[in-house]
Amino acid sequence: DIAVSQSPDSLAVSLGERATINCKTSQSVLYSSNNRNYLAWYQKKPGQPPKLLTYWAATRDSGVPDRFSGSGSGTDFTLTISSLQAEDVAVYYCQQYYNTPHTFGQGTKLEIK
Amino acid sequence: EEQLVESGGGLVQPGGALRLSCAASGFNFSKYWMIWVRQAPGKGLEWVANIKEDGIVRYYVDSVRGRFTISRDNAKNSLYLQMNSLRAEDTATYYCARGGYSVWGQGTLVTVSS
């Protein structure tokens, strides 16, 4: 199984400031035949299902604000929130879907400083 | 509106069984892989199983293989998860999701306790 780890486990950022969350996979999730990274990011709030933010590492899902951006390739990825809003308080997860099981990282709790 | 609605959760004793259902609407169910993901209280997300459009190809996480069975009925636009030999560590909110993970249900809570 591909292991997925995130850093940090928790993060406090001031409103309007940048938040950066890192994700590392135990093997490359870049599929050479289509040059796509099989990596997604989710936002999870209590009592709600996960919300897909980005897929293919950097493609924002429909309706996701452009302050959310994903980057990276191979085994190292980043989710950046360019200007933190109050509604962004949540736990963020990355997930690889290169191989089953489609493993998730342990999550990063984002709070307001 | 694309929608998934889970049902079937509840309290069950260790060693017991439960069948979860997920009703799909607003999209062509038979054209998508479907997935079950769970979240134990206070823990992270765990991918459980998925099933191909044809209902034949299925994959499971090691911790449930041999105890859980994912299935689907494309005529009824429904996804299922038969859970046998339940353990305390299976206690979680179970979510169904559409292939691509852009559509999720609200989840159903399964509690395994005596």
Residue-wise pLDDT for A64-88, tens only, equals 999 999 999 999 999 999 999 999 9
Which residue, among B103, B107, B98, B108, has the nearest Cα to B35 in the 3D structure? B98
Q: Which two tokens stand for residue B17?
A: 């069984």
Percent of chain B past pLDDT 90, that is, above it, reads 100
Q: Judge contact between A36 and A89, C-beta under 8 A.
A: no
pLDDT digits (tens, 9 = 90+) for B55-101: 999 999 999 999 999 999 999 999 999 999 999 999 999 999 999 99
Question: Where are the strands (E) in chain B, listed by range?
Answer: 3-7, 10-12, 18-25, 34-39, 45-51, 58-60, 68-73, 78-83, 92-98, 108-112
B59 touches chain A (CB under 8 A): yes
Q: What pLDDT does residue A21 have?
A: 98
Q: What is the rounded distance in angstroms from the CA atom of residue B1 to the CA atom of residue A19?
A: 32
Q: What is the rounded distance in angstroms from the CA atom of residue A60 to the CA atom of residue A10?
A: 23
Which whole number is the average pLDDT over A54-63? 98
pLDDT digits (tens, 9 = 90+) for A18-39: 999 999 999 999 999 999 999 9
* Chain A interface, best mutation among B68, B101, B104, B106, by max A CB count within 10 A: B101
Percent of chain A past pLDDT 90, that is, above it, reads 100
Interface of A with B (CB under 8 A): 1, 40, 42, 44, 48-52, 55, 61-62, 91, 93, 95, 97, 100-107
Q: Do A101 and B35 touch (CB under 8 A)?
A: no
